[in-house]
Amino acid sequence: MNVVHDGASFPAPEGWDVVTPAPDATIVIEPDRADGGFRANLVLTVGDNGDLSFRDWQNGTDVLLRHELVDFLLLDLERLDVDGRPGGRRLAHHTSREGAGLVMEQWFAQVGSTGYTLTATVDALRYPLLAATLDECAAGLTLPDGAGR
């Protein structure tokens, strides 16, 4: 199933549920787990960055993540193309409010003044089992035509 939000889209894992909680984001979440554990999810966020450059947007994101997420630890930050545009990938670890270790992986790019971020979050112990699936979703991320292409 292809999930579309504000001109961007990505392939969702089969059987995952699509939720649209706000105008600026769409969430895809794995089905309920038998053990009641943390449900992995993908969140496609779209936001107007105004006159911020790509670099300023991402520097601000790094600051925000350090302040908003408990025990945030940036593991990797790299430049890479996202749908043929300059973008990046961020891999980090943080802790849920309940104390569970979580891995967050983000792929991001900017088209004109609009920032697109696909964020995957999964409990740390299950990350190796889901990493390839999450990478496939990110590899299928398409962005709308615009000034960035």
Question: How do residues 17-34 score in pLDDT, each as one tens digit?
Answer: 998 777 889 999 999 999
Residue 110 exposed, middle or buried by CB count within 10 Å (0-12, 13-18, 19+): buried
In order of their start, the domains of the chain are 2-139 (3.40.1000.10)
> Does position 149 have pLDDT exceeding 50, yes or no?
no
Per-residue model confidence as pLDDT tens digits over 76-126: 999 999 999 999 999 999 999 889 999 999 999 999 999 999 999 999 999
Which is it for strands 41-48 and 25-29: parallel, antiparallel or unpaired? antiparallel
pLDDT of residue 148: 41
Tokens of 140: 């299928």
Integer Cα distance of 111 and 125 in angstroms: 34
pTM value is: 0.93
pLDDT cut 90: percent of the chain above it? 87
Contacts (Cβ under 8 Å, ≥6 apart) of 71? 93, 94, 95
| pLDDT (mean) for 47-54 | 94
